[in-house]
Chains A and B, each alone.
Chain A
Amino acid sequence: MSRGTLIYAAQRLVLITFTAIAVSSIVFIGIHQLPGTALASERRNNPASEAALLHRYHLDLPWTQQYVIWISGLVHGDLGESMVYQGTQITPLLLREVKVSLTLGLAAVLVTVVFGMSLGVLAAIRQNTWVDYVASTTAVVGYSVPSFVWAFLLILLTVSGFYAWTGGTIYEDIGWGKPEQIPVPALALGLPYAAIVARLTRASMLEVIRQDYIRTAWAKGLSSRVVVLRHALRNALIPVLTILGPLITGIITGSVVIEFLFGIPGLGKEFVTSILSRDYNVVIGVFTFYAALVGLANLAVDLLYPVLDPRIRY
């Protein structure tokens, strides 16, 4: 990495920090206009203990003061305490969960890139043959089938095998952490987006393989593997990179549903649980994490551009 890249990355990191703070501030302010919290549903037979609880969460203060307390916690990396599970600090909880979500998300991105690119390249180099038609049709159908439907189909296709292998579909009940639990949710999450990548790869491969330098490569007598993978694919991937940012956001969105369905203890599941139980401190915390995650993912994608195209420099 060059010096310029490092400076660029540092600038982006500062920007990501500010975006995360901005997003969570908007959510904080929005949420504090709502009536009721997790505490409001509790029995109020003891005014003294309720006042103590309100005081513990600073809910007895006007929201402007609450915001100041909260933001000074945030800059120290402290997202406060859960309102439902009193005594649980949110930052370590979410850090633990983000690891789970990241494992799943990265596996899904891998599925997307590997399946999508191979299907796209295959369709392009066999353009207008049955391989192309099958691959292109699969791709259109693929992105119309949402991730959760893929999950049902994958489970059904391997019903007995799946249950024997992973021990059940609700991972929470049987404990999360075994590697064999990852493939099915990761495939479900990645396949719709793999279809999008396949379409894009095909289109940009078709453009690239008609160019002169590819003809030169063939004329030099290079093997088709080298021409396709080394010469063509590398340039064909640049347009594909542009979709990778929105795609990662999409995978994160899908992971909320997939984690919920499979009972995977990640950020997405935490978000749904906390919003249903009105644990607003956790909700705000998850938003902060997601904003940072989306920012970092986009930064990672942008740092890939100069790797593929040396003319791009930061």
Chain B
Amino acid sequence: MLFTTIKGLLAHKLRLFGTALAVTLGVAFMAGTLVLTDTVTKTFDDLFGDIYKQTDVVVRGQGVFDAGRQGFGVQRGRVSESVLADVRKVPGVAEAQGTVFGSARLVGSNGEVLGNPATGAPTFGGDWTESKRLNPFRLVEGSPPAADDEVVIDAKSARDGKLAVGDTTTVLVQGPPLTVRVSGISRFGSVDSPAGATVTLFRDTVAQRLIAEPGKFDSISVAAEPGITQEQLAADVAKVLPREAQAVTGAAMTRESQDEARKSMAYFRTFMLVFAVVALLVGAFMIFNTFSITVAQRTRENGMLRALGASRRQILSSVLLEALAVGIVASLLGIVGGLGVAAGLKELLNAAGVEVPGGSVVFKPSTAVISLTVGIGVTLLAALSPARKAAKVPPIAAMQRGLVGSTGYGSRQRVYVGFGLLTLGLSTLVTGLFGSVDRPVLVVGAGVLLVFFAVSVLGRTISLPLSRLIGSPLPRLRGITGELARENAMRNPKRTAASASALMIGVGLVAFITVFMSSTIASQDRAIDQSFTGDIVVMSGGGIMGGVDPSLGKKIDALPEIAYATGVRQTFASVDGDVTFVTGVNTATAFDVVDIDPLEGVPADLSRSAIAVSKDVADKKGLAVGDALPVAFKDTGQQQLRVAMIYGQDQFVGSYLLGMPAYAANVLTPFDNEVIVKRNPEVSTQAALKAVEDASAEYAGVSVLDRDGFKEEQAALLNQMLALIYALLGLAVLIALMGIANTLALSILERTREIGLLRAVGMTRSQLRSAIRWESAIIALQGTALGVVIGLFFGWALVRALEDQGMTVFQVPYGSLLVIVVLAALAGMVAAVGPSRRAAKLDVLRAVVSE
């Protein structure tokens, strides 16, 4: 039987190629994700290995809370300067140096800030460590900072920002924009900059003042005397430390940092693998369809083999063997393709603003094992049902002519099973969304999968009426070619449904995400309309750890065109054990521009020891005004705050709100994330905007927006995300379209004589091509229609489930959905280009007389 399988495989290269490609693309995406994440992980491993190579012990603050899930690691307080002197006295300490770390944004020679702390490369500042042994940076040009206004910058920023030694430029730190002179350019170990970050290094006292706290260090690096182990030194150093500080070995620091990087990569990896799974799922449909068709086409051949004495098991294994061969070839090609995908993904992410650090490509054996296992597994599983069908062919089939397989409208049993699955899927989905379950994401995911599966089970039953409906305008529009297209799409509902189902998955997810994003944007707009009364917003662009110095807000506030300007600050904190955003506002002015709908208490109550919570949180945690709430801050550690106010609108300020006295007391790096501006009513918005823009000019990196601009800015981030998800789902859609092309090619092969007949009785080549293109369009539209309906439903369900989290509007983006439908029809026609060309080129005579 092996012999006939191999012969068959070689004889049907077209089928093999089409089928393999579906698996290849899915596997390539998966392998690409694995390679990319492994490569980035390796980059970080090396990076942290470099940083702590010469450091034996690190002294730092005790952990206050872990913001690892937010991507910011364990948050710690700083260590007092006096600790450094104590550490230096410990026997066995060769050298010890305090280091400072914080936000600093460097401006390039063109006036633009380098890096993008919100979505791209981080921007940080530090101190230039005098000790060569403990400093991971190496000067490649110039000299260390010798004066308070001198800095060393990293080589990448020097290159990107066209900055040379001796140039003066601006750095945005605490306080007004600072003019500095570049005294030196450094590399970080063997790379130009750590993970693509922009780094500005000051003298240590300057760094303390500008980016951290005076008199404090973020950590102290210690080098040991020869012959002293890291563990021993750490233990000795620990003895002289105050309670809020700890000593860890360099090796432990390396491991810890590597683990944190790995954790944040794991989120990214999971995100990407979801799309690989979707692609493989669609690929599985295509394999199932291809094998079903070829098994049906070989009914007589299999009947003959059975007549000649082949057992059912032999037929079954011959089909599975073919699937195995396809799976192996496709997976191997997929692994090779994965290397290309890794490079492509990197570009895609870079284009979407998520900077991925470079490094030599890492290909782990586990990548190969996983890719092969999944690729082959998916292929075999998808081919199992067709293989069993092949094995059921009775020997008598060899003698029967004509009828090629069943066309299958779906049995009554099948319909019952389909509806059962649909009910189960919908109830699972609803439970996940609205019920209280442990891991709602998994439950919702299972529900989604079940719904897709149920619809594809029902597919062949609904396919016939759906094809008839979709194709109904065709006979009138395209005459006989349109009618033939419709008839052909209807003649094998099972096949049409399987092709359409594959497309349905991709389109369904695209429609879902489109509906969801459009509802999110509409909800945001509504919230802005309802409770935001500011005229102008100045966005800092500095990310959560940075921002713009409050001096900007003061400067704007003083402008005659402006009534007042109020800064909004945000930080991470751990509230009652939950790591979350905490917002700080000036209670005197903020509530004039943002209506937070106070329910209990008044803004004036937000004293130095008070906190306000949203109604949702108050309800969930059972909090009332006057209750104590423990909050841990990075800089000041655990604090007991008192609930002084409960408010209803949390769209802008989040769940927790502090008055400026409490915020400033606990967050010692004062940065405004936004400055909200109310114009002088006698001045036009235009004039006020101009005045604010002029005042902000020297603060590079900020954007000054009016209300509409603010809305657009909020939508822009979501649209960027949407574009990325579209690109990733594009793969699944592409595979589905290839599936349609492959199915068409196989159907045409089956219809060779019919096509010959049509050509013989006068169908022109262009009529034939047109008929096949429209057939393809009907299949594509069928998948799209199902997908859009399912996507709309998923979108509606999720929006309703998130209603109390600010999703107040369910908005159907009719325009976008129409574009999706039209694109799908066009894509279906494009998919038919190959098969229709081949059909048109068929030799009329050969087609007519072919046996």
Does B associate with A?
no
Q: Measuring CB to CB, which residues of chain A are less than 8 angstroms from any residue of chain B?
A: none
